[in-house]
Chains A and B, each alone.
Chain A
C-alpha cells in the first residue's frame, strides 16, 4: 500500500543551524502538508502546498520556515535558523484531492527534530 515516507527519522542540530526535513508523498497525490507536534501537545498545522505554491500557512510558519518541491517526488521543509522551541516531531502529509470535505490526508512517520 502506498505510503508517505520521511527522512531522517531523527535529526539533532545546534541552535541557529539550518535543517531540511524531507518527505516523499504518495505518488499520485497533488496536495502536501507539514504539521508538527511538540511533546505532549496537539498536532499543529504549519503549511499546505499545491501546484508549487503555498496555499495556506499558520502563524507558526514565519520567515524562518520555507517549503519546496525540488523535483517530482520530494517535498521539503527548511528551517533557516533553528530555535530551542522548534524541537518537535514534524509530520508530512499528502492528499489526492484538495479542499474539504474530500481531502483525506495521509501522514508519514515523522521526523523528530531536537535542537540543542
Chain B
C-alpha cells in the first residue's frame, strides 16, 4: 500500500533557525512529490513540486530534495520567521491523478 508519513508531527523553534522537515513514502516508484503549506482553517498553498527526475527544487528560503531510493523527501527552511508558522504537508503522486498526503508537520516559529 502506498503511504506517506511525516516526522515530526510538531516542531517549535526560535526565529532564525534553519530547519528540516521530513517526508517518507513507502513506494519508491514515485512520479513527483509536492510540498504544501496549510494555515489553520485554510486551504493548501503549493510550495514546491519535485519531479522524479529531479533531486531538488528551490524557492526563496525553501529547498526541497527527493531521494527515491531511500523513499524520502526533505523540506529545508532557511532563517525561519514567525510567518513560517503553519502545517506543512507533503504529497506523493504515482502513475495516477491522485495525491497521497502525509499527516503533516505543525511548525511554530517563535520570536
Interface of A toward B, CB cutoff 8 Å = 4, 6, 31, 33, 35, 41-45, 48, 55-56, 58, 91, 93, 98-110, 112
Q: How large is the interface on B (under 10, 10 to 19, 20 to 34, 35 or more residues)?
A: 20 to 34
Does the CB pair A91–B89 fall under 8 Å?
no
B10-18, B19-27, B31-39: which one contacts chain A? B31-39
Q: Closest approach, in angstroms, between the C-beta of A3 and any C-beta of chain B?
A: 9
Q: Would A42 and B96 count as touching, CB distance under 8 A? A: no
Quick check: A109 and B32 within 8 Å, CB to CB?
no
5 tightest Cβ-Cβ pairs between the two chains A and B? A100-B31, A48-B97, A45-B98, A101-B32, A109-B43
Chain B residues with Cβ below 8 Å from A98 are 97
Chain B contacts for A91, CB-based, 8 A: 43-44
Chain A neighbourhood of B99, CB < 8 A: 35, 43, 45, 105
Give the residues in chain A near B109, CB-CB below 8 Å. none
Of the candidates A6, A33, A101, the one whose C-beta lies within 8 Å of that of B97 is: A33
Q: Can you give 19 A-B contacts (C-beta < 8 A)? A: A4-B43, A33-B98, A42-B103, A45-B99, A45-B100, A48-B98, A55-B97, A91-B43, A100-B94, A101-B51, A101-B52, A103-B93, A103-B97, A104-B34, A105-B99, A107-B36, A107-B45, A108-B43, A109-B42
Task: Report the bound CA distance from A48 to B96 in whole Å.
Answer: 10
CB distance from A5 to the nearest CB of B (A): 10
